């Protein structure tokens, strides 16, 4: 029996438990997991913003996960082109994309190659957008107190510990 190769992609900026859960659930459904990390240029082009954490660091964080077998740069959104490079059997994507014209197109392109698109649910209550907003709000509440992120952690460590426990329970 041949091994099942999985593929998933993401920006993975400000890596959080939701990212980990998606990657873990993807790995549970394949033998070898390839993760495409969006390059800074792709994020700028697609989202019109620069990631907080540079590509090289985001790729290193993802590569350090025990669930990840290989990290590759995602330089464009061409899923058929990715399949031509990596020959994956399953592609994992967030369930919020299911039924969208973009992903219906990808399904039509990949189906003839035997690729199964697996839609994974997100972790409730956490997203990079929400996390960025919370951090910005906290820093805005405490201007001039100095310390940047260190101050943020000290001011709200109890809140985040409680939230973390809720999310991983």
CA distance 70 to 37: 10
List 3, 27, 45, 49, catalytic entry: 49
Residue 70 pairs in a beta bridge with 34
79 catalytically annotated: no
Q: How does 94-120 read in b/e, with b if 16+ C-beta sit within 10 Å? A: beeeeeeeebeebeeebeeeebebbeb
**Which of the following is catalytic: 3, 45, 47, 98?**
47
In order of 118, 127, 165, the CA distances from 8 in angstroms are 10, 17, 26
Annotated catalytic residue 105? no
* Catalytic residue positions, numbered: 47, 49
């Amino acid at each position: 029996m041949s091994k099942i190769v999985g593929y998933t992609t993401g920006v993975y900026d400000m890596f959080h438990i939701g990212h980990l859960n998606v990657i873990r659930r993807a790995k549970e459904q394949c033998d070898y997991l390839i993760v495409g990390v969006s390059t800074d240029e792709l994020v700028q082009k697609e989202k019109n913003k620069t990631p907080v954490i540079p590509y090289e660091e985001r790729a290193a964080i993802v590569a350090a996960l025990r669930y990840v077998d290989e990290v590759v740069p995602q330089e464009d959104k061409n899923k058929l082109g990715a399949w031509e490079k990596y020959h994956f059997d399953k592609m994992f994507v967030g369930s919020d994309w299911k039924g969208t014209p973009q992903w219906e197109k990808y399904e039509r392109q990949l189906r003839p190659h035997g690729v199964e698109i697996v839609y994974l649910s997100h972790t409730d209550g956490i997203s990079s957008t929400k996390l960025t907003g919370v951090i910005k709000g906290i820093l805005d509440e405490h201007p001039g107190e100095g310390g940047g992120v260190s101050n943020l952690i000290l001011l709200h460590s109890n809140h985040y510990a409680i939230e973390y426990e809720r999310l991983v329970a």
